[in-house]
Amino acid sequence: AAELMAKLYAASEEPLPSALLPIRDRFAALFQRARDDQNAGCQTDYVHAAIIADQMMSNASELRGLHGDLHHENIMFSSRGWLVIDPVGLVGEVGFGAANMFYDPADRDDLCLDPRRIAQMADAFSRALDVDPRRLLDQAYAYGCLSAAWNADGEEEQRDLAIAAAIKQVRQTSY
């Protein structure tokens, strides 16, 4: 997956298509949830993740076209080689393009919550994408909180927040 992302997100001289959605717009649900929590006097993961996401988006080093929903079910092998299907079409930093991978496979929480796997993925993706692993883990944490905001009041919300917490812990203890 890391090699495929490196090819998919490689720098290009071509201008980015105007139809791509800015990553900040994609994170609207997280920013709204964080505002709601702050207004209620709660300092939650949503608030923390929104601060991180805002800072990273405000200080983005290089914007690229991103798939927006890259995970193992959207990567297929064909006679033409590896293909990526079902893009959302975003523009943002490449680390956000890898963030969803930390939350898959969706039916294997044992893998997604494993600190060693999280660190190994961060190392592999950061090398392939030439991104600081700390920044990549921050982006993955923020993405998980965004996903939880989309899935509010359900089992998926709790799953996303648990994985985000595991990513945050790896970020704090390993990097």
Candidates 106, 90, 105; CA nearest to 139 is 90
Catalytic residue among 36, 37, 54, 69: 69
> Is the separation of the CB atoms in 53 and 147 below 8 Å?
no
- Terminus-to-terminus CA distance in the chain, angstroms? 22
User: Could you give the C-alpha distances from 118 to 4, 11, 23, 133, 144, in angstroms and in order?
Assistant: 18, 26, 23, 11, 13
Residue 69 appears among annotated catalytic residues: yes
* Residue 83 bridge partners (DSSP): 76
Q: Which value, to the nearest 10 degrees, does the dihedral of the CA atoms of residues 115, 117, 120, 126 take? A: -90
For 134, phi and psi rounded to 5 degrees?
Answer: -65, -45
Catalytic residue annotation = 69
